[in-house]
Amino acid sequence: MPEIRLETYINADINLVFDLSRSIDLHQISTADTEEKVVGGRFSGLILLGEQVTWQARHFGLVQQLTAQITALHAPDFFVDEMQKGAFKSFKHEHIFRYNGQQTVMTDVFTYVSPCWIFGRIADYLFLKAYMKRFLFKRNQVIKTYAENGKGSELLLRCQAGFSEA
């Protein structure tokens, strides 16, 4: 089972980083290049424990759908989303947050099982693990940027008021 572990250091309050990481609206902004959009479940705002969202995106030239559910959440320390339906055989994405006295450290632990048995393992080795690592890294950089430049607080306020940028 491949595992991707990323640490991102963010000069912002842990609560802000936690909420931006759960923001449906910011997720859509961070995945604009894959044309990711919500087609089911929670459409905007902060996803909560037990809620699901179905995403539609273009990966490897194919339009795909993936449904994920928040299966664990303890603010502002961690939350977990797990695939319910989608292209993977399974995945689990742990989002862990801690304040180190100077910065918020956001740690992603993404484990997955590819479909198609041996062909999936070959795909992991050749390109899929690297693709997923780049995808998560880019998302984390958008969270970091929004958290550090003030746009994140503005986005969350707009979403609470019923408006979104996505």
Q: Are 114 and 89 in contact (CB under 8 A)?
A: yes
pLDDT digits (tens, 9 = 90+) for 10-25: 999 999 999 999 999 9
Residue 23 neighbours by CB distance under 10 Å: 24
**Is the pTM higher than 0.85?**
yes
Which neighbouring-strand residues pair with 78? 74, 96
Q: Got the DSSP string for 83-121?
A: EEESSSSEEEEEEEEEE-SSSEEEEEEEEEE-SSHHHHH
All structural domains of the chain with their residue ranges: 3-158
pLDDT of residue 42: 93
What CATH number does the domain located at 3-158 have? 3.30.530.20
